Structure 1
Amino acid sequence: MSDAESPSNPTLTPDAQTDDFEAVEVFPDSTDMDLRPGADNCYKCTACDVSCPVAEVDDEFPGPKFQGPEQWRLKRKEDEAVDDSIMSCSNCMRCDDACPSGVPLSQMHNTARGEYVDEEMDKLSREYIRNRILANYGTLAQLGGMFPRLANAVMGNSVVQRINEKVLGITAERDFPEFATQTFREWWNERGGPQVRSEEKRVAYFHGCYSNYNTPEVGKAMVRVFESFGYEVVVPKQRCSGTPMFANGMLDDAKRAAGINVDNFAGLIPEGYDIIASCTSCSMSLRQEYPELFDIDGIEDLSAHTYEALEYLRIHEDLEDAVREASVDDQAFAYHAPCHGRNQGLDRQAVELFRQLDGVEIEDVGDSCSGISGTYGWKEEKYDKSMQIAADMFDHMEHAQGSVGMTECPTCSMQMEHGTGYDIKHPLQLLEEALV
C-alpha cells in the first residue's frame, strides 16, 4: 500500500473513521495535540513544496511536505529527532494556503520547531542566543523606546552592526529600524485615551511591537480612521503577538505572551468589543496560531473576534462609498500583499479599495514573497536567500508606475525599502489622508 492510500473502510462515514483509530501523538511528550487526521490527508501532491519560497532558492531545504506530514510519519514509526532543517522554514505559512486537503502544515512546523529548540539546540550556541534575541524583539524594543535617540545612534553604527554579525549572526547588511521618539502608547496616554464613546461600535486595538515602538504613525492612523466612523477604540495592555517566537521555535515564550494577550483582550468581547490589528502577522497569530498551539481559556473567542483593520471596515462600514467620494493629491503606489495577509484572504483588498480613490494609482506587484519573513532575513546565513526570494518583488516594484510602496506588514515594508529605496506606507495612512 502506498503512503497516498488510506486503509480506511469506505463504507464508514469520515466521522466514524476518525473515531475508530487510536490517537497517536505527533511528537513524544505532546499532551494536547493529535495531528494524525490532518497528516493522513496528505496525498503528496507537492502543492506545498511548489508554493514554498525557501525551497525555491535553497536546494538543501526539503520543503513543507517533509517538515510536516512526512516527518510526522517518521516519528510515528521510529524515535527520531526532529530534522535540523526545520529551522530553515521561514514561517511564511504559504503552504497552508496552497494545500488542497487541509493538512495543518504550519501547525506541524511550529510544533516540530518548538521540539527541536527545546531538545536538540545547544542553549549556549550563537544560533540559539541570536534567535532568542530576535524572537523577543518586544523586549529589545522596550529598551530602545526608553532611549530612542541613543538606541538609534548605537544600532545604526556600522561598527556595531559588524560586531552583531560577527558575534550574534545578525546580518550587517540591513539598517536596524529606528525607534520613534514617542511610542504609540505614549501618544495614546497623552491624548487621554478614547475620544469617542459608543455602546454599539467598539474595538480593541492590538498594535503589536512595531507600530508601538517604530511606526506609531500607523497606530495613530488606525485610531483616527476608526473614530471617524464612530468607533470607541480602546488599547489594552499587551505583549508581542508571538509571531517571531513561533518562527524561532520559542513556544514557551509565545505561550506566556499569548496568555497575557488572551487575558487582556478576550474579557472585552462580552462587552461588545472586537479585536483589530494593523499588522497582518499579528492578526494571523491571534486568529490561527494561538488556537492551533495553545489551550488557554478564551482563546477561541479571541480568534473568532480578531480582524485586520481594513478588513473590518470593509465588512462593517460602507468603506468603498466613502473612498469613492474622497480624493487625495496625485500619488502612485506599488502594493505588496504580505504572505500572512494572503493566508487570511486579504491579498487584494487594498488594491480593490484604493483604485476607487481619486488621485491614486495603485499596482499589485505580484504574488511573490518579500523574503524577509520576520526574522528570517535578519539572520546572516539567510540574508542572501531572503534577497533571492524577494527578487521578483523588487523587479515588479521598480517597473511599477509608483515609487512609493504599500503593504500591511512591517517586516515586508523593511524589505521593500531595503531592496528599492522606496518610501513605504501602510494602507491605513492613505485611508487617514483620504477620510480624516
Structure 2
Amino acid sequence: MDEQRRRIREDLTGLLRGEVRCDALTVALYSTDASLYQIEPIGVVFPRDPDDVVALVGYAADAGIPLTPRGAGSQVAGGALGSGLIVDFTRHMRQMELLEDGLVWVQAGATLHELNAFLRPFGRYFPPDPANANVTTVGGMLAVDAAGSRSVRVGSTRDHVHRIEMVLASAHAVDFGIELVELNASGHPLPATASDANQDGIAPNGADTVEGHETAAVKRDLLRRLAYLLKAGEPLIERYQPADLVRNVSGYCLRGVLADGQLRMPRLLVGSEGTLGLFTAAVLHSAPLPQHRGIVLLLFGQLEAALRTAQELIPLQPSACDLLDRRLLALGRESDPRWEQIIPKTAEAMLIVEQTGYSTGEARRRIALVVQRAREQNRSIAVAYEAYEFDEVEFVWSLSRRVVPMLSQLPGESRPLPFIEDIAVPPAASHEFLQRVQKVLQKHRVTASFYAHAAAGQIHIRPFLPPPTPDDAPRYESLARDVYQAAFAVGGTVSGEHGNGLARTAFIRSQYGPLYRLFQQVKDLFDPKNVMNPGKIISDDAHLTVRHFRPPIVASPDLIELQLQWTPEDMGRAAAQCNGCAQCRTLQPDQRMCPFFRVDPIEEASPRAKANAMRHLATGALPAALMGSPSLKRLADLCFNCKQCLLECPSGVDIPRLVLEAKAADVAANGLDRTNWVLARAHLMSELACMVPRLANWIVSNPALRWLMERVLGITRQRRFPRFARSSFLRSEARRGNNQRPRSGGRPPVVLFVDYFVNFHAPHVARALIAVLRHHGQEVYVPPGQVVSGMTLLSVGEVRAARRLAETNVRELVELAREGSPIVCPEPTAALCLKLEYPLLLDHPDVQLIADQVVEAGQFLQRLHRQGELQTDFRPLDLEVVYHAPCHLKALNDGTPLYDLLNLIPKLRIRRIECGCSGMGGTFGWRSERFEESLRIGAGLIEELRGGRFDAAASECGACRTQMAQGTDRPIVHPIELLAAAYGVMPNPIGEGKDVRSDGSDRSD
C-alpha cells in the first residue's frame, strides 16, 4: 500500500463508522463493473449511515479526491468506476420503511428485489423492471433512471420518485422533492424565503440548529440559481430535449424540471449518475401489484417486419412489447428444452407482448386484440405461445433476462460488446433507424445482436467484436460515432436507460449542441470542485469512450507455477470470460448462486470477485506474489465448490476452477493448517475407525473427547457425527467375495464407484443400489482397487494428494470404461469429481474416457425409465417424505432423477424443500469456526425440517444429510433406499428392520 492510500485510510478510519479499504485486492475488485472498462481507484469506503457520507464528502472536497458511488456494479457503461474513492452503499445502507399513501422510504444500497419482497406482503411493488432487477440497487436505479420492458406503460424510475435524500458536494445533507419557486411579474424566479424552505424539509437534520440553518441557506441558494439557469435555457431545452423521445437519459434531464413555479427536482436528479451529489435514500411511489396479466409470443420471418408490427401495436397500449432477434432465439432454444418446442429454428425475430387487465377475461380480450392487429399488419406471423397464469408469464420473461447475458457464450473470439447498446429513438422512427444502423454495420463489416423494448423505441445493439485493446480504439470509436449519427438523424439519443458513464459521455456534446453548455452550468452549480463522479456526463475528453478499456490477457512472466492443467493464458481467458454482469449477486429464492453471498452480500463473497482477482493476476495488474497470500486465501475461502455459479452463470464462467487454483497456490506455498489437513484426509482416519467401530463411535459420541477434538483439531463438537459402519463397504465386499469381475460376454457390467460417506458411514446405500440394479437384470461390479474421489482434498486446495488418488482411480477404471461399462455413483459429489475435476488434475485421454462413462445413480435409472426398461412393480409406501436436492446433483445438470422416480411409488407423498444450499460444503461445516456460518447458509433447509410434518427426509448427498440432521430427529435416508424398499429388495428404511440414525448412517454392516 502506497503512502497516499495509507494516509487516506488512516484519516477516514478516524472519521467514519464504516470501513475503509485501500489494499491492492479490494482496489482491484472495484476497478471494474459490468462494462468494458477498468480504472483503479484509491480505495473503497463502506458508509454505515448518512452521517458517514457527509463526513466523507467533506474530507474528499478538502483533499480534492473524486467520489464515485456504487451499487451492484452491474452498469454496462462504466458509470461506477473512478480513480478516487468508490463509495459502496450495498454493505450497510439497505434499510426501508413503508410510509402512508403507498410511499416507501428506502436507502440507496437496497436492491430492487429486496424492495419488492418488502412490499409484496402489502400487495404493492415498485414498477420499473430493469433486466438486472434481481441485483440492481435502488441507488443504481436512481443514478441511471432505470426502466425496463414495461416502461411503455409504467414509465421509468424518475416517474416514481417522491423525494431524494442526498449529500451535496458542499457536504450538506439535503432532501429534494417538488420545491416551490417564487416568480416575479415577468415570470422569472425570485429567492425563496427561509420559512418556505424549512417547510419543504430543507434541513432534515433540524432547521433550529446552526447546521440546519446553514443547510437551509445552501439549499435555498442552490434552488434559486438553478431556477434562473433553467428559465434562461428554456428555448434550448425545448428544442434539444423533445417530448416525443420516450426514453432518454443522455445528459441531464432538464425538460419539465421548472414548471408552474415549481422545481421538480427528482426529474433532474434521477439519471445524474452521482455527478450532482451522493444519493443516500429516496421516498418512492409504490403501486398495487398487477392482478391479471396475459402474454403472447409472435414469430416473424424478418426483423424489420417485427419492428413494423411493434409500431402498429402501440395504440393498444401494451404493458410491454419486446423484440428478440434470431441469435437470442437460438440461445433460448438451447437454454431450456421447453423453448425448443415453442420457437422454430426458422424464426428470425419474435415479439413478446404483454397486456394487463382487471380480470383474466379482460387480459385475454386485450391479447386477442394484439393478435388481431398484428395479423392485419402481417398475415405471415405465427402465434407461438399464449399464457395467463403467473408462473407461465414469468417463464416467458425469463427468456430475455436469461439469453441476453448468454450472448457471451457464443463461440469465437468476437464477443457481443456493450458500448453502443443503449440507443433510444422516437418509437415511430424505429424502423427507419434500423435501416440506417444496418447500413452502418455493413460499412464496418460487423454483425450485431438486436434486443429492443420496441414500443418505447429502446434498441439494444451489441456488435460482435474482439475484446478491445488500445490498438483497436480508432475502430471502436468510429463505429460508435457512425451508429450515434444514425440515431441523431431520426431524433434519437445515445442512452435510453443504461446511463452515460465512460461509454457515452464523449458523444453527449454532439447530441445536444448548445444545450451542453447548460449541462456544464448545472454541474458547476452542484459540484464546483468536480468531486462528484467526475468524467461522467460532463467531460472534455473527446476520446473517453476508448480511454480505459480493460487490459488484454497476457501471461505474467513471474507468475508462480500453476497447479492445475492449464497455462496462465488459459487461466486469464477463463477469468476474462466474466463480463461483470453481477448476476452472481442475486438473492432470488429460485436460484442458489451464491451461498456465501446470500448470508453476507458483500462484493468479496460474490463469484465475480474471484474471477476479477484471477484476471488481474493474469494481466499483471496484481503482483504475482499475491498468489499464495493471506488476502487471496481469504477471498478463495469464500467458496466451497458448490458449483451453483458454474451452473447458473449466464456466461458459463468456471469460478470453482479459478478458486481451486487460488487455493492450490496457497497450499503449495504455505501448506495446510491442522484442521484442513485432518478433514481432507478423513478417509484415512475413517479406514482405521471402521476397523474398530465401537471404539470410534464411542469417541465421536463422547462430549469430553469431542471437546478435545475441537480444541486440538479444530473440528466442531456441535455437529452430530455420523456413526462409522462396522466395516467399510469396500472391505466387506472383499470379504464376501463380491468384488470379483464378471466374466466377459453379454453387455458390460455396471461399475459401482462409492465415495467417502457411502463407504465408511452408509454401506447400506450401496447395497440398496446394487439390489435395485440387480432387480433390473444388471450385473454389478465393485472394483476392489478404487479409492475415494478426492473431493475433500480439492475442497481445501490439496491438489497434489488429490491427483494421486485420481491416478489410482483412473488406472482402476479405464479398462472398464473402454469396454463401455457405465460407472455409477450413488453420491453426486463422486460423479461430479470424476467428470469435472479429474480433467483439471490429469492431462491424459483416459481421464475423459472415464468421465464420459460416469453417471450418477439416479441418472442411470432415469435413463432406463426413458428407454422403457425401468421396472415399475412398486409396492406402496405410505409415507410423507421431504426431499432436498444437493448442489452437486444440480451441478450435473440433469434434473433430480431419483425424486422423479420416487413419485412413481404408490402412496408415497414426496415434497421438495426449495431452500437453497444445505451449507455443509463438504468439510466446510466441520470446522469449528465455520460451524455457525454453515448453519446460516443452511438455515432455510434446517428451519423447514424443524417445523415440518413428515416421516422422513431424503437427499442423495451424505454431507447434506449430515447437515439436515441438525434440524430433525426423524430418519434421513438416501432416495435409493426408498426405491429399494418399494421394489421389495430391501427392508423399508423408515423403522422396519433397520436401525437408521437421523443422519443417514447405520449400525449394521
TM normalised by structure 1 equals 0.90
Deviations 1:168-209 (A, max 9, x none): 211110132211113212332344326976621421111112
Q: State the Cα deviation string for residues 391-434 of structure 1 (Å, max 9, x = none).
A: 11122334544231100000100111122222111111111112
Aligned to 1:206: 753
Matched with 1:84 is 633
Work out which of the residue numbers 573, 584, 588 in structure 2 matches 1:37. Answer: 573
- Answer yes or no: is 1:243 the counterpart of 2:791: yes
Equivalent of 2:819 in 271, 276, 281: 271
- For residue 698 of structure 2, what is the aligned residue in structure 1? 153
SS in 2 for 1:149: helix
| More displaced stretch, 70-79 vs 58-67 | 58-67
* Cα distance in 2, alignment partners of residues 201 and 302 from structure 1: 14
Q: What does residue range 96-135 of structure 1 map to in structure 2 within 5 Å?
A: 96-119=646-669, 121=670, 123=671, 128-135=673-680
Q: In the alignment, is the contact (CA less than 8 A) between 2:414 and 2:465 conserved in 1?
A: no
**Distance in 2, Cα, partners of 1:422 & 1:25:** 55
CA deviation vs aligned residue, 1:140-170 (integer Å, no higher than 9, x gap): 1111011111111122211111111112211
CA displacement 1:342-396 (0-9 Å, x = unmatched): 1112443233221221021100000410011111111111100111111111223
Which secondary structure does the structure 1 equivalent of 2:802 belong to? Answer: helix
> Which stretch has the larger CA shift, 42-51 or 402-411?
42-51
For the pair 1:217 / 2:748, whether they are aligned, the reply is no
CA distance in 1: counterparts of 2:580 and 2:666, whole angstroms: 24
CA distance in 1, matches of 2:883, 2:749: 29
Measured in 2, the distance between the counterparts of 1:181 and 1:158 equals 22
Quote the Cα distance in structure 1 between the aligned partners of 2:556 and 2:873.
56
- In structure 2, the CA distance between the partners of 1:403 and 1:46, relative to structure 1 (3 Å rule), is farther
Which AA in structure 2 matches 1:375? T
1:208-243 per-residue CA deviation (whole Å, 9 max, x = no partner) reads 122111100001011111111122211111122111
Distance 1:183 1:320, change over 3 A: farther
Task: Indicate how the Cα distance of structure 1 residues 97 and 22 shifts in structure 2: closer, same or farther if over 3 A, else same.
Answer: closer
Residues 1:325 and 1:9: Cα distance change in structure 2 (over 3 Å): closer
Q: Determine the structure 1 residue equivalent to 2:713.
A: 168
- Do the aligned partners of residues 235 and 325 (structure 1) sit closer, same or farther apart at CA in structure 2, a change above 3 Å counting? closer
| Matched residue SS, 1:273 | coil
CA distance in 2 between counterparts of 1:140 and 1:2 reads: 45
What secondary structure sits across from 1:176 in the alignment? coil
Cα pair 1:274 1:305 within 8 Å, conserved: yes
Report the more deviating stretch, 46-55 or 319-328. Answer: 319-328
1:25: how far off? 6.8
SS at match of 2:717: coil
State the alpha-carbon separation in 2 of the partners of residues 46 and 226 from structure 1: 44
- What secondary structure is seen at the aligned counterpart in 1 of 2:918? coil
Structure 2 partner of 1:372: 920
The answer to whether structure 1 residue 330 and structure 2 residue 878 are counterparts is yes
Q: Work out which structure has the larger RCO, using CA pairs closer than 8 Å and 6 or more positions apart in sequence.
A: 1
Which of 824, 827, 833 is the matching residue for 1:285?
A: 833
| Bigger share in strand | 2
Code of the aligned partner of 2:639: C
Alignment partner, residue 723 of structure 2: 178
Structure possessing the higher radius of gyration over alpha carbons:
2
Matched to 1:407, the amino acid is S
Deviating more after overlay: 373-382 vs 398-407: 398-407
Q: Tell me how far apart the structure 2 counterparts of residues 59 and 17 of structure 1 sit (CA, whole Å).
A: 33
Amino acid at match of 2:836: Q
Say which is worse superposed, 5-14 or 239-248, in terms of deviation.
5-14
| Distance apart, 1:12 and its partner CA | 8.9
Q: Is the CA contact 1:152–1:178 (under 8 Å) kept in the aligned structure 2? A: yes
Structure 2 length-normalised TM: 0.40
**Letter aligned with residue 36 of structure 2:** E
The Cα of 1:49 is off from its aligned counterpart by 3.5
Q: What is the number of equivalent residue pairs in this alignment?
A: 430
Distance in 2, Cα, partners of 1:9 & 1:151? 58
Contact 1:55 1:63 in 2 (8 A): yes
Q: Which residue of 2 aligns with 1:313?
A: 861
Is structure 2 residue 801 aligned with structure 1 residue 234? no
Whether 1:393 aligns to 2:941 is yes
Q: 1:63-78 counterparts in 2 under 5 A? A: 63-76=605-618, 77=620, 78=622
Which residue of structure 1 lines up, in the alignment, with residue 849 of structure 2?
Answer: 301
1:93 to 643, 647, 652: 643
Unpaired segments of 5 or more residues in structure 2? Answer: 1-30, 39-412, 416-444, 448-462, 470-551, 587-592, 986-1005
Are the equivalent residues in 2 in contact too, given 1:97–1:343 (CA < 8 A)?
A: yes
SS in 1 for 2:953: strand
**Contact 1:407-1:426 within 8 A present in 2 as well:** yes
Matched with 1:55 is 597
In 1, distance between residues paired with 2:645 and 2:793? 19
Query: What is the match of residue 907 of structure 2?
Result: 359
User: 1:15 offset after TM fit, Å?
Assistant: 13
5+ residue gaps in structure 1? none
Q: Distance in 2 between matches of 1:226 and 1:283?
A: 17
The one-letter code of the counterpart of 1:73 is R
Deviates more, 1:36-45 or 1:370-379: 36-45
* Residue 5, structure 1, aligned to residue 550, structure 2: no
Secondary structure of the residue that 2:878 maps to in structure 1? strand
Question: Is 1:67–1:108's contact at 8 Å kept on the other side of the alignment?
Answer: no
Q: Deviations over 1:52-73 (max 9, x none)?
A: 1112224667124355321112
CA distance, structure 2, for counterparts of residue 73 and residue 94 of structure 1: 21
The CA deviation string for residues 260-287 of structure 1, in whole angstroms up to 9 with x for no partner, is: 0111111211222111100011111111
Cα distance 1:65–1:368, how it changes in 2: closer, same or farther (>3 A)? closer
State whether residues 362 and 402 of structure 1, in contact with CA within 8 Å, keep that contact through their aligned partners in structure 2: no
Identity of aligned residues (%): 28
CA distance in 2, matches of 1:143, 1:25: 45
Conserved? CA contact 1:332–1:404, under 8 Å: yes
Give the C-alpha shift of residue 23 in structure 1: 6.0
Tell me which amino acid in the other structure corresponds to 2:761. Answer: N
Q: Answer with 80-89 or 255-264: which moved more.
A: 80-89
Contact 1:337 1:367 in 2 (8 A): no
Q: Does the aligned pair in 2 maintain the 1:90–1:247 contact within 8 Å?
A: yes
Partner SS, residue 907 of structure 2: strand
CA distance in 1, matches of 2:763, 2:801: 25
Is 189-198 or 381-390 further displaced after alignment? 189-198
Deviation at residue 317 of structure 1 after TM alignment: 4.4
